[in-house]
């Protein structure tokens, strides 16, 4: 038991060292350049080594049941110092942030973009009830709780939100460390992107804001302050935005879009049949 | 009561491990690039501050679970730690200064290392998800990010910032 944890710790130290030694790597695609930070390499290395066909022999020992369980059970506690750091980033700028406080509140509505952009695409490629679960929000704990309460996780809606949850957990940080610099290259202001970083998942917010800092290092304190403030606001308002805005909007759009395709009441029929 | 204390002792140790890993990462960063954030006495003070705020946040989160107000009960532990830190940093400049000696990126690498280890058993679940949801995920993530960025851009423009 003890030996297990020692192996885990040594492994973590090796991965951190490797990720830091790889350092920040920039890749250019035409007009866009993205940079992968050590944090992205850390999650890539640990995930690749954990792939079922790689996880053999000694690596299997590192990824023992106890160690994987320890990591997922205590991940939230390992993240706490990061959250404490965010408080220190917001504090010196609180006045400035409150000055544009309404902008922070207004941009919370941007989280409805999951429905506005995601739902039409989901319906277009043929998803129906899964689309309800998969586009209500980012598919983090809030949406998971809401969908499982309303439809259960075994339902089609539940499968949709669970799939999104898994995909987000695995690829969310990588995705946000790629999209942030692309948006910067498109011409968005770094302050606006910092605010947008507070999407509701701490690791996705960190990936986005860290990548922005890499690109605009002189704005570090503003980026961290804005991202953290927006993230805090999302934790407070997220549930309300979901229940009072995202759910009705989704229902409205769903009915509108499925009707025009001459597939009336498909979900109701399916539900009745079950 | 002793079970309770035992629980907090465990949390305290895990958070201490986390701060120790941050120190390690900052040192490695320094080896790779001598111009990065140095490791000084104040760095240790900063890490202790982060540990302290985390512990206060954990206790606060447990206390709030006992209040009758639903929104306070459900507010995440991560949020309580940030709020604790925000309030105490507003009161004492020392905390802001000390935390400033801790390199931001050095905090993130250890977290993502453990995040990676924690999700490996879900890699198998990926087979259960349909590729369609994978495509939708890209648009869902882009939707929330671009949506918020557009509104922020507009808001900041209107605020003349």
For residue A24, pLDDT beyond 50: yes
Q: pLDDT tens digits for A126-142? A: 999 999 999 999 988 88
**In the predicted structure, residue A40 carries a pLDDT above the cut 50:** yes
Picking from A50, A67, A84, the residue at the C-terminal end of a domain is: A67
Instruction: Please say if the pLDDT value at position A274 is more than 50.
Output: no
Residue B73 sits in the same domain as residue B99: yes
C-alpha span between B153 and B161 (Å, rounded): 10
**Predicted pLDDT of residue A264:** 47
Which runs of consecutive H residues, i.e. helices, occur in B33-128? 41-64, 70-74, 77-91, 93-100, 104-119
A171-228 residue pLDDT tens: 999 999 999 999 999 999 999 999 999 998 888 999 999 999 999 999 999 999 999 9
A67, A91, A116 — which closes off a domain?
Answer: A67
Q: How many structural domains comprise chain B? A: 2
A107 pLDDT more than 60: yes
User: In chain A, how many domains are there?
Assistant: 2
B67 interfaces chain A, CB cutoff of 8 Å: no
Are A80 and B18 in contact by the 8 Å Cβ rule? The answer is yes
Pick A85's closest partner by Cβ from B28, B107, B152.
B107
Q: In chain B, which residues have their Cβ closer than 8 Å to the Cβ of A125?
A: 132, 135-136
Same-domain check for residues B48 and B108? yes
Mean pLDDT for the stretch of residues B84-100: 95
pLDDT computed for residue A261 by the predictor: 52
A125, pLDDT greater than 50:
yes
- Residue B116 forms contact with A (CB below 8 Å): yes
- Over 80: is that where the pLDDT of A169 sits? yes
Shared-domain flag, residues B141 and B116: no
Domain containing residue A177: 99-262
Contact call for B144 and A199, based on CB within 8 A:
yes
- Do residues A49 and A164 both lie within one domain? no
Query: Do A60 and A172 fall within a single domain?
Result: no
| Letter string b/e over residues B35-74, b meaning 16 or more CB atoms within 10 A of that residue's CB | ebbebeebbebbbebbbbbbbbbbebbeebeeeeeeeeee
Say whether both B152 and B90 belong to one domain.
no
| In a shared domain, residues A23 and A151 | no
pLDDT at A56 over 80: yes
Are B30 and B80 members of one domain? yes
Q: State whether B103 and B141 are in the same domain.
A: no
Q: Indicate if the pLDDT at residue B70 is higher than 90.
A: no
Asked whether residue A133 falls in the same domain as residue A221, the answer is yes
Measured in whole angstroms, how far is the alpha carbon of residue A16 from the centre of its chain? 22
A110 in a structural domain: yes
Say whether both B97 and B154 belong to one domain: no
Are residues B142 and B89 both part of a single domain?
no
> For residue A65, with 0-12 CB atoms within 10 Å meaning exposed, 13-18 middle and 19 or more buried, which class applies?
exposed
Are B46 and B100 in the same domain?
Answer: yes
Predicted ipTM? 0.92
Kindly tell me if the per-residue pLDDT of A23 is higher than 80: yes
The predicted structure's pLDDT at residue A249: 96
Query: Looking at the structure, do residues A151 and A252 belong to the same domain, yes or no?
Result: yes
Using CA atoms, how far apart are residues A153 and B116, in angstroms rounded to an integer? 24
Does the pLDDT at position B71 exceed 50? yes
- The boundaries of the domain holding residue B157 are 129-161
Mean pLDDT over A148-173 rounds to: 90
Place of tokens 């940030």: B82
Residues B73 and B141 in one domain: no
Question: What is residue A8's predicted lDDT score, i.e. its pLDDT?
Answer: 95
Phi, psi angle pair for B30, to nearest 5°: -65, -35
Distance CA A209, CA A175 (A): 12
């Amino acid at each position: 038991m003890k030996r297990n944890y020692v192996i885990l710790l040594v492994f973590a130290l090796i991965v951190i060292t490797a990720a830091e030694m790889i350092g920040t790597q920039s890749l250019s695609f035409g007009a866009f350049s993205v940079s992968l930070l050590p944090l992205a390499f850390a999650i890539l290395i640990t995930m690749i080594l954990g792939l079922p066909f790689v996880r053999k022999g000694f690596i299997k020992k590192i990824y023992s049941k106890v160690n994987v369980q320890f990591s997922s059970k205590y991940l939230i506690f390992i993240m706490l110092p990061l959250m404490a750091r965010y408080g220190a980033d917001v504090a010196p700028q609180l006045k400035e942030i409150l000055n544009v406080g309404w902008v922070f509140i207004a941009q919370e509505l941007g989280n409805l973009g999951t429905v506005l952009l995601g739902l039409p695409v989901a319906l277009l490629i043929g998803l129906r009830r899964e689309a309800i679960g998969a586009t209500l929000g980012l598919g983090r704990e809030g949406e998971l709780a809401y969908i499982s309460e309303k439809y259960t996780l075994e339902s089609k809606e539940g499968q949709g939100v669970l799939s999104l949850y898994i995909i987000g957990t695995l690829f969310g940080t990588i995705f946000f460390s790629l999209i942030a610099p692309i948006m910067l290259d498109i011409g968005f202001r770094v302050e606006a992107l910092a605010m947008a970083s507070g999407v509701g998942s701490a690791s996705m917010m960190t990936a986005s804001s860290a990548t922005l800092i890499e690109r605009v290092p002189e704005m570090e304190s503003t980026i961290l302050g804005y991202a953290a403030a927006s993230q805090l606001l999302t934790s407070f308002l997220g549930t309300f935005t979901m229940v009072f805005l995202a759910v009705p909007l989704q229902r409205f759009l769903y009915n509108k879009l499925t009707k025009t395709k001459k597939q009336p009441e498909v979900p109701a029929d399916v539900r009745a049949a079950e | 009561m002793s079970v309770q204390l035992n629980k907090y002792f465990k949390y305290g140790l895990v958070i201490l491990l986390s701060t120790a890993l941050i120190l390690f990462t900052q040192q490695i960063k320094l080896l790779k690039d001598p111009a990065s954030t140095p490791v000084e006495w104040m760095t240790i003070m900063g890490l202790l501050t982060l540990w302290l705020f985390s512990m206060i946040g954990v206790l606060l989160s447990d206390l709030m679970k006992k209040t009758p107000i639903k929104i306070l009960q459900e507010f995440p532990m991560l949020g309580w730690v940030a709020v604790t830190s925000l309030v105490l940093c507003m009161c004492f400049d020392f905390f802001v200064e000390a935390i400033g000696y801790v390199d931001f990126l050095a905090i993130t690498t250890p977290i993502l290392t453990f995040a990676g280890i924690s999700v490996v058993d879900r890699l198998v679940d990926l087979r259960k998800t349909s590729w369609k949801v994978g495509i939708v995920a890209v648009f869902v993530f882009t939707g929330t990010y671009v949506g918020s960025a557009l509104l922020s851009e507009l808001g900041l423009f209107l605020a003349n910032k």
